[in-house]
Amino acid sequence: MASEFELDQYLSRIGYQAALTPDRATLAALHAAHVDAIAFEGLDPFLRRAVQIELSSVVAKLVHGRRGGYCFEQNALFKAALAAIGFQVTGLSARVRWRSQPESPLTPRTHMVLKVDLADGSYLADVGFGSCLLDTPLKLVPDIEQPTAMGTYRLTEADGLFWLAVKLPKGWRTMYAFDLQPQIHADYVLGSWYSSTFPQAVFTQTLVMERLSLDRRYRLIDRRFVVEARGGEIIAERQTTTADELAGVIDEIFGVTLPVAAEEVWRRFETA
């Protein structure tokens, strides 16, 4: 195991106490524990704060700082943990399609994902797609529907890319497209810099938070708090109306300590 990675501290952070065999069952259990314990959140880019994706900074923030993070932080942390346990894991990158029309051009590589190779084949692991968090790794096999506890997913292959889609009440929605070209840290530095500083990037304009827990998906999009059941069915929804209410949701539901006063986050909505 990699001595520089604090595996015990990470496991304590996600509340994982089971076996650490590098197999499918352990991978799925770690994945589920991670997305429950460490919320996806884009507070730093929304507040125009620098996002550091070196592993030491990620560990300090997500493991020790009662914070979450976005894909480059979340999947960097998960990759380090998997490697420390003994999994064969490769970092990949994806082009986000969540808000794109089907005919629109491809976007830059602004999302980090992981390929995990097991005895029974390769899996897509991703604990950092904040528009629709995966609750479990998916088989890296195209053209099959893959039901999970929180939804149904499907990979297709076209134009040299894998395309991941989720089945929602209104039909299939494409999440992102990726290939199997391994990425290095410098690739992620560039993608993260763009995602956290470009004025028209989602995370510089919109506060996005998400957490999965058992059979519930919790989302915060700016002031709007939503609770969903499996497949995207909305079961509760409300607008937060004050900075204190927003801070309460972030603390109690997402388990995140704000890096600034709640009033500063609230004022940012007026200028985003």
Residues of the chain with pLDDT under 70: 1-3
Question: Percent of the chain, pLDDT > 70?
Answer: 99
Q: Which of 34, 36, 44, 111 is catalytic?
A: 111
CATH of the domain at 209: 3.30.2140.20
Q: Which pLDDT score, from 0 to 100, does residue 140 have?
A: 98
Q: Which pLDDT score, from 0 to 100, does residue 4 have?
A: 74
Q: Which of 36, 44, 126, 222 is catalytic?
A: 126
pLDDT tens digits, one per residue of 69-120: 999 999 999 999 999 999 999 999 999 999 998 889 999 999 999 999 999 9
Number of domains present in the structure of the chain: 1
Catalytic site residue 44? Answer: no
Residue 2 included in any domain: no
Residue 1 included in any domain: no
Q: Which pLDDT score, from 0 to 100, does residue 153 have?
A: 98
Q: Which pLDDT score, from 0 to 100, does residue 20 have?
A: 96
| Strand ranges for the chain from DSSP E | 40-41, 88-96, 109-118, 121-125, 138-139, 145-147, 152-158, 161-168, 171-178, 208-213, 216-221, 224-228, 234-239
Whole domain around residue 123: which residue ranges?
7-271
Question: Percent of the chain, pLDDT > 90?
Answer: 95
Residue 146 included in any domain: yes
Q: Which pLDDT score, from 0 to 100, does residue 103 have?
A: 86
Q: Which of 34, 36, 44, 71 is catalytic?
A: 71
Catalytic site residue 132? Answer: no
Catalytic site residue 126? Answer: yes
